[in-house]
Chains A and B, each alone.
Chain A
Amino acid sequence: KAGVTQTPRYLIKTRGQQVTLSCSPISGHRSVSWYQQTPGQGLQFLFEYFSETQRNKGNFPGRFSGRQFSNSRSEMNVSTLELGDSALYLCASSGATEETQYFGPGTRLLVL
């Protein structure tokens, strides 16, 4: 079974721009969670989608949004980028009845 894939792997943007990151879960997994990882704050939960519905949301501003498609693929969008948004963005998928989350390789975003 293929693992979780994320595209692109690396991104460089400038302040004020917006960015869209993509995540394809493991086949059959319907839950996708997104995390931001920075050296200072560690791993922080952004949101979780299940069957195209946002099921859970972390404490991030509204500039961070996401969605999930009928094939369970998910995208997250960050608008009006700030320097502090530079981070590794990880997505993870899990089965409907499973607590274990399987992570993708991440997208490293650098905001200049």
Chain B
Amino acid sequence: AQSVTQLDSHVSVSEGTPVLLRCNYSSSYSPSLFWYVQHPNKGLQLLLKYTSAATLVKGINGFEAEFKKSETSFHLTKPSAHMSDAAEYFCVVSVYGGSQGNLIFGKGTKLSVKP
């Protein structure tokens, strides 16, 4: 069965320092993986997606993620945090139907950015 595990429920960084949000996945086939961001009281915005074309995926707002099959990981990084990055981030794996729908969401990681 497909699943994602976000290893940290909360990450706090200082402005200008690197961001690392960790995600491990479980899939019986080569998965499609996504990172979404949700700012307070907003919907989810797609940051980036991996669909097997390249293991290093660049997204919006300077974020990128690397797919590592050997480690079953898809960690999200950004070289330098900005105050506007404070939000909740969801790692998501695509599945094919079922009662969980077409997307399996991690529990989310809340990113705090200190000035």
Q: B102's contact among A57, A99, A102, A105, by CB below 8 Å, is which?
A: A99
With A100-B34, A100-B49, A103-B36 as contacts: A45 and B100 at CB distance below 8 Å: yes
A90 touches B32 (CB 8 A): no
B46 touches A58 (CB 8 A): no
Q: A42's contact among B32, B42, B108, by CB below 8 Å, is which?
A: B108
Q: How far is the CB of B80 from chain A (nearest CB, A)?
A: 27
Q: How far is the CB of B106 from chain A (nearest CB, A)?
A: 8
> Does A55 have its Cβ within 8 Å of any Cβ on chain B?
yes
**Interface size class, chain A:** 20 to 34
> Does A108 have its Cβ within 8 Å of any Cβ on chain B?
yes
Smallest CB-CB separation from B32: which chain A residue? Answer: A99
Q: How far is the CB of A106 from chain B (nearest CB, A)?
A: 5
B102 touches A42 (CB 8 A): no
Q: A97-112: contact bitstring with B at CB < 8 Å (1 yes, 0 no)?
A: 0011111111010000
Q: How far is the CB of A62 from chain B (nearest CB, A)?
A: 14
Contacts of B51 in A (CB 8 A): 99
Interface residue total, chain B, C-beta cutoff 8 A: 23
A58 touches B42 (CB 8 A): no
Contacts of A57 in B (CB 8 A): 99
Q: B88-107: contact bitstring with A at CB < 8 Å (1 yes, 0 no)?
A: 00100010011111110101
With A42-B107, A48-B102 as contacts: A90 and B43 at CB distance below 8 Å: yes
Q: How far is the CB of A51 from chain B (nearest CB, A)?
A: 15
Q: Which of A33, A48, A56, A59 has the most CB of B within 10 A?
A: A56
Interface on B for A, CB 8 Å cutoff? 32, 34, 36, 41-46, 49, 51, 90, 94, 97-103, 105, 107-108
> Apart from A33-B102, A99-B102, what are 6 other A-B pairs with CB-CB below 8 Å?
A43-B90, A99-B94, A100-B34, A102-B46, A106-B42, A106-B43
